Amino acid sequence: MTSSGGWTSSSDNGNLSTELSALAKSPRLLLMLDFDGTISPIVPTPEEAEIDKEIENILTDLEKLPSTEIWIVSGRSLEDLKNKVHFKNLIGSHGIECPFSAEEKIDCDDISKLKNDIECLLKNYRGIQIEQKVYSVSIHYRNADAGDEESIRDIVKKNSGNFAITEGKKVIELRAKGKNKGDACQMLIDHAGCEASIYVGDDITDEDAFRALKEKSVTIKIGSGETDATYRLKCIDDLRLILKKLLEERSLL
């Protein structure tokens, strides 16, 4: 496989270049992108995460083109996400906070109790950050001692109660059971009526979207690890080049 436009292709990436050109030419185009690790580099704590400025500029230019929608689909709460990006189209809490679905009735007291319980159980471990979101609790252990990682994961999983467990990159998320990114993106596509769409993500919760959108979207995973996405890019730098190509080609229409 050859390189195209500067981004590294592999045999996995078969027709990505051709698919991008087709997307660029479609009458209506929907771009769905995860935030952390996809359009913002992974950093030690969630608060430090910032959108990649060049990607932000490219997406902003794309959004100005006719019939082109940008949606950010994140595990962060909508409130949190609004402070991270200026785009108006947002889906938060892994799809639970989605403008096309009635929000699940979730008892916030349960989330607070879960957070307090986990905090108490992990109080003797260093470098843990526990983040309470609207519908979930995230336990970050990126800064914990490497030898403690397994016990931390065990404790969290054994005490997850009725919450869905999702493991990401040095984070375990306990999430109120309900909608996921796949359900939300499916609703979004139905609502937008776009015949062409692309979904890009880097982590376990994006796999729900990759699976749900397999037949109808161009799906791209950033980074290593097993995936149901059709294509894979090594890093955010490659995504930047892909989006630039999409912008250049769509601007010519």
What binding mask, one character per residue, do residues 113-152 give for Mg ion by CB under 5 A, x or -? Answer: ----------------------------------------
| 208 makes contact with Mg ion (CB under 5 A) | no
Residue carrying the six token digits 């916030």: 108
Question: Among residues 16, 30, 32, 34, which is the contact residue for Mg ion, using CB under 5 A?
Answer: 34
Q: What tokens were used for 190? A: 């139905």
Strand 196-201, strand 218-222: pairing:
parallel
Q: Shortest Cβ distance from residue 206 to Mg ion (Å)?
A: 6
| 37 makes contact with Mg ion (CB under 5 A) | yes
C-alpha distances in Å from residue 129, one per residue of 37, 44, 172, 188: 18, 10, 11, 32
Point out which span in 9-17, 33-41, 101-109, 210-218 binds Mg ion (CB under 5 A).
Answer: 33-41
Strand 231-233, strand 196-201: pairing:
unpaired
Q: Which residues within the stretch 60-119 sit at the binding site for Mg ion (CB under 5 A)?
A: none
- Spatial strand order in the sheet of 129-132: 129-132, 136-140, 171-175, 164-168
Q: What tokens were used for 95? A: 């799809």
CA dihedral over 17, 183, 227, 174, signed as positive or negative: positive
CB nearer to Mg ion: give 16 or 37: 37
Q: What tokens were used for 228? A: 């149901």
CB nearer to Mg ion: give 36 or 207: 36
Q: Shortest Cβ distance from residue 88 to Mg ion (Å)?
A: 20
CB nearer to Mg ion: give 42 or 194: 42
R_g over Cα of the chain: 19
Question: Among residues 7, 36, 70, 135, which is the contact residue for Mg ion, using CB under 5 A?
Answer: 36
For the chain, what is the largest distance between any 2 Cα atoms, rounded to a whole number of angstroms? 59
Q: Shortest Cβ distance from residue 166 to Mg ion (Å)?
A: 11
Point out which span in 174-182, 201-209, 220-228, 229-237 binds Mg ion (CB under 5 A).
Answer: 201-209
Footprint on this chain of Mg ion (rule: CB under 5 A) = 34, 36-37, 202-203
